């Protein structure tokens, strides 16, 4: 019940395209859904996050769509650039005052944006 399923495993788009990465979760107690971007040899970098009280959040070229009833959320990258080529991880957590909020990660999507 703690799992977060992510798809696709890899994705190749042309510059300017709109890659979409999808995630599904099972635990309805999750209340925070971040996306992380990771370059080879680096730590995950927080990209954008959403809470279940909204259905969409946009920051720059990155948009999260959230469907609470379906227990799914997705990341859209508008006008993708070669520099966006990286591995993207979705995650989910439930904040607890005395224990913090362990993140449960999806399996990751390797995105390649061709020039």
Partner 1 sequence: EPEVTQTPSHQVTQMGQEVILRCVPISNHLYFYWYRQILGQKVEFLVSFYNNEISEKSEIFDDQFSVERPDGSNFTLKIRSTKLEDSAMYFCARTGREVPDTQYFGPGTRLTVL
Give backbone dihedrals phi and psi of 3, rounded to 5 degrees, phi first. Answer: -75, 150
Distance, in Å, from the CA atom of 24 to the CA atom of 91, rounded to the nearest integer, reads 10
Does 93 contact partner 1 by CB under 8 A?
Answer: yes
Does 22 contact partner 1 by CB under 8 A?
Answer: no
- Pick the stretch among 16-24, 52-60, 64-72, 96-104 that binds partner 1 (CB under 8 A): 96-104
Three-state DSSP at 81 gives: coil
What letters, b where the CB count within 10 A reaches 16 and e where it falls short, cover 30-44?
beebbbbbbeeeeeb
Does 37 contact partner 1 by CB under 8 A?
Answer: no
Does 112 contact partner 1 by CB under 8 A?
Answer: no
Binding residues (CB under 8 A) for partner 1: these are: 31-32, 34, 36, 41-46, 49, 89, 91, 93, 95-108
């Amino acid at each position: 019940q703690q799992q977060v399923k992510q798809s696709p495993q890899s994705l190749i788009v042309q510059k300017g395209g709109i890659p979409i990465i999808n995630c599904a979760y099972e635990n309805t107690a999750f209340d925070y859904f971040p996306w992380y971007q990771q370059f080879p040899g680096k730590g995950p970098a927080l990209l954008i996050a959403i809470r279940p009280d909204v259905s969409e959040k946009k920051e720059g070229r990155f948009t999260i769509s959230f469907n609470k009833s379906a227990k799914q959320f997705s990341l859209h990258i508008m006008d993708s650039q070669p520099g966006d080529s990286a591995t993207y991880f979705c995650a989910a957590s439930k904040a607890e005052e005395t224990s913090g909020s362990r993140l449960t990660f999806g399996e990751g999507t390797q995105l390649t944006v061709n020039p």
